[in-house]
Structure 1
Amino acid sequence: MKNISWDNYKIAYQVAIDGSLSQAGKSLNINHATVLRRINQLETALEVKLFFRHQRGYKLTDAGAILLAELPSLITRFSKLEHQLQNVESKISGELRISTISSYSSQLAPALKAFRDIYPAIRITLLSTDDIVPLESGAAHVSLRVGPKPNGTDLIVKQLTRFKTSYYASAEYVKAFGLPTTDSTLNDHHWILPTPDKYRIPFVRHIVDNIDKDRIVFQSSHFPDVSQAVIEGMGIGPIGEHQAQRYPSLVQVTLNSPESEEAMWFVYHKDSKHSARVKCFYEFLLKRLESLTALETR
C-alpha cells in the first residue's frame, strides 16, 4: 500500500468542490503553492490524473469524479472514529461541539462559561444555526433543539425544559401608547415581529392576521434582534418569559393569541452515550435549569 497522506486526499476533494487551486486554498486557509504541491504528490503516488488543467480552472477526470463521490462518506467515517476514540477518556477534556438555534445561542453563553469554570480542560465550539445539524456526521456532539420532539433511530433525546414566549412592551412604550385591549385595537400599536418565514408560528400568525402590515415597524430573522427592539421601546413584540424576567421594566401584554409553550431537547447520537463530556454537559444543564427555576419561584 502506497504511503499517501490523508490530508492530500482532503485537499484534492476541496479542489474538486471549488474548481480552482486558489479558491481551495482560501477554503482550507493554506496557500496556492501548497495546494498545487499536494495535488501533484497525490497524483504521482496514485499514478493517475484526478484533474484536467485549463484556463477556467480544474475539471475532474473520471478518477477525480470517483474521488468526489466517495470521499464524503470516508470523511464521515473518520470523524465517527475520532469521536468514538475520544469517548473513552477518563478526564473531562477535549472539544465539545454544540449546535443550537441562532435565537438561543447568545443566551447560552453564561451557561457555557459556568460549565468551563467547572471543566477548564473542555474546549467549546458552538454551531449557531436554524438548520438541523446531522449528529451522525460528527459535526456536533450535542444538539439543543426547540419544538417537537426530534426523532431518529440513532438519536438519544432528553427533554431539558419547557419555556413560554409572550408579548411584551417597555414601560416607556406603554407610557406613550398604552396597551391593546382587544384584537380590534391591535392596529393602534407598533409591532416588532420576526420576518415572514416565521409567520407560520401560531402566536405570530395571530398578530399578522389582525394588523395592517404597515404597523410592523421592525422585523428580523433573528429573535434576539426582535427582543432587543422591544426592550429599546420600539413597539410590542415576542420575548421568552425566561428572558423577560431579566428586565423588570418590561410589561407583559395580554392578547388573544395562541399559547406558545415549547420544549427544549438535549439530543446526541447513540455513539456518544458513553461520552464523559456529553454526560457531564447534560447533568450540568439540568442542575443549572433547576437552580434558575428555584430562583424564579421565590
Structure 2
Amino acid sequence: MDKWAELRTAYHVARLGTVSAAADLLGFHRATVNRHIDLLEAELGGRVFIRHARGYALTELGADVLRVAQKTEELIYDLAGRAAGAKAAITGEIKLTILAPFAGLLMGAIAKFKASNPECQVHIDASEDLARLEYGEAHIAVRAGARPDHPDYVVSSFGRVGLSLYAHSSYISRRGLPQGEGDLDGHQFVVPPTDDSRLPFGPWIKDHINPDMIALSSKNLEVNFSAISAGIGMGFLADHEAEAATGLHRAFPFKKAWTVPLWLVTHVDLHRTEKVQEMLKHVKLARKDT
C-alpha cells in the first residue's frame, strides 16, 4: 500500500472531525483532503468515513485505519526527532491505563514528567477494562495479577502492592473489629464480585463471607472505597490508598498472600519511542523511591 499521505490525512480528519479543520492543520485545500480520502477508500476497498451534516464519523474499517495511522504518525515523529540529533520537545498526548486504586502510584512520576515535558498532555484511563495496546488504546498500561502474555507486549515488573481488610472508625464504633477469622459473625462487608481472577483475596471471601454478610457489592472499585469509608462495611483496599485516607484501620495483620503483582506493559511498536521511554523512566524511578 503506497498511500501514506492519504493515511495521514484521514487520521487528522478522524481526530478533528471535519475536512475544514484537517485542511487548515495540514495546509491543504479542502478538495485535496477529500481526494485523499477517496483515494484511500478506493485502495482499501471500503468506506473509511460516513459523511453526515456535522462532519465525518468513522466506520469500523475507519477505526482500524485510525489506529494504524496514529501509531505510524507517532513513530515517524519520533524518528524525525532522533534524526535531528538533539532532544526535541515531547508534545501531543500520552495515554496510560491503570486500575483506580493504584493510580496514586503514578502521580509523583507524572508530576516530574510534566515538569520536564510541559507541552505533553497526560491522559489516564482508570477503567477496569483492559486497554488493547495493539489498537493504540493506551501507550502504557499498569496491569495487576498474572503477567500479560501477549506476544507483542513488552512487560516489566512494577513491584507488588499490598491489600488488606479495612474498616472505618464509624464502622468500628458500631460493631468493633473481629478478633480473628473465626469471629466474623455479625459483621458486614463491602466486596467486589469474586469472579475476577486478579483479586488475590477472592478465595478468602468465598471461604469466609456468606452472602447475607455482604452489605454492598460493586465491580467499581471507587464505589467500594466510598462505601468502606462511609462505614457501610469492612472491605479490601490497597494499603497505600488506605494509609493516605482518614479514619481507616486494618482489621487483620498484613497477609503476604493478599499482595498483588503489578506490571508495566507497552506495545513493541511504540515501546522505544521517546515519549514512552521518558514516561517509563519517571515511573520506574518513582516506584523505586517508594
Using structure 1 for the length normalisation, give the TM-score.
0.69
Counterpart selection for 1:224 from 222, 225, 237: 222
Corresponding residue for 1:132? 130
Is 1:287–2:278 an aligned residue pair? no
CA shift, 1:8, in A, is: 8.9
The aligned counterpart of 1:54 is: none
User: How far apart are the structure 1 equivalents of 2:274 and 2:70?
Assistant: 18
Question: Partners in 2 of 1:246 and 1:257 — Cα distance?
Answer: 19
**Number of residue-to-residue matches in the alignment:** 257
- Equivalent pairs: percent with the same residue? 22
Residue ranges of structure 1 left out of the alignment (5+ in a row): 15-26, 32-36, 50-62, 294-298
Answering whether residue 90 of structure 2 is matched by residue 93 of structure 1, we say: yes
Change (3 A) 1:148 1:187: same
Choose from 176, 190, 193 the match for 1:192. Answer: 190
Residues 270 and 175 (structure 1 numbering): CA distance in 2 closer, same or farther, change over 3 Å? same
CA-CA distance at 1:146 after TM superposition: 1.2
Higher normalized helix content (fraction of residues): 1
- Are the counterparts in 2 of residues 203 and 257 from structure 1 also a CA contact under 8 Å? no
Q: In the alignment, which residue of structure 2 is the partner of 1:81? A: 72
- Bigger Cα Rg: 1
Aligned-partner Cα distance in 2 for 1:159–1:130: 20
Partner AA of 2:97 in structure 1: S
Corresponding residue of 1:143: 141
Equivalence map 1:169-184=2 (5 Å)? 169-184=167-182
Verify: 1:237 aligned to 2:228, yes or no: no
Deviation, structure 1 residue 202: 4.6
Q: Report if the CA contact (8 A) 2:47-2:62 is conserved.
A: no
Query: Aligned equivalents of 2:157 and 2:77: distance in 1?
Result: 25
| In structure 1, C-alpha distance between the alignment counterparts of 2:247 and 2:60, rounded to whole Å | 57
Q: Is the 8 A contact 1:168 1:238 kept in 2?
A: yes
TM-score (norm 2): 0.71
The Cα shift of 1:278 comes to 1.5
Report the AA paired with residue 131 of structure 1.
D
CA distance in 1, matches of 2:219, 2:168: 21
SS class of match (1:130): coil
Unpaired runs of 5+ residues, structure 2, are 20-29, 50-58, 82-86
Partner of 1:250: 248
State the superposition RMSD in angstroms.
3.9
Corresponding residue of 1:275? 273
Shift of 1:133: 2.1
The CA distance in 2 between the partners of 1:211 and 1:283, in whole Å, is 42
Q: What amino acid is the match of 2:73?
A: E
Q: CA deviation at 1:153?
A: 2.5
Query: For 1:186, what is the secondary structure of its paired residue?
Result: coil
Counting only pairs closer than 5 Å after superposition, residues 5-84 of structure 1 correspond to structure 2 as 64=46, 71-84=62-75
Cα pair 1:170 1:232 within 8 Å, conserved: yes
The alpha carbon displacement at 1:196 in A equals 5.2
**1:76 Cα deviation from its structure 2 partner:** 3.3
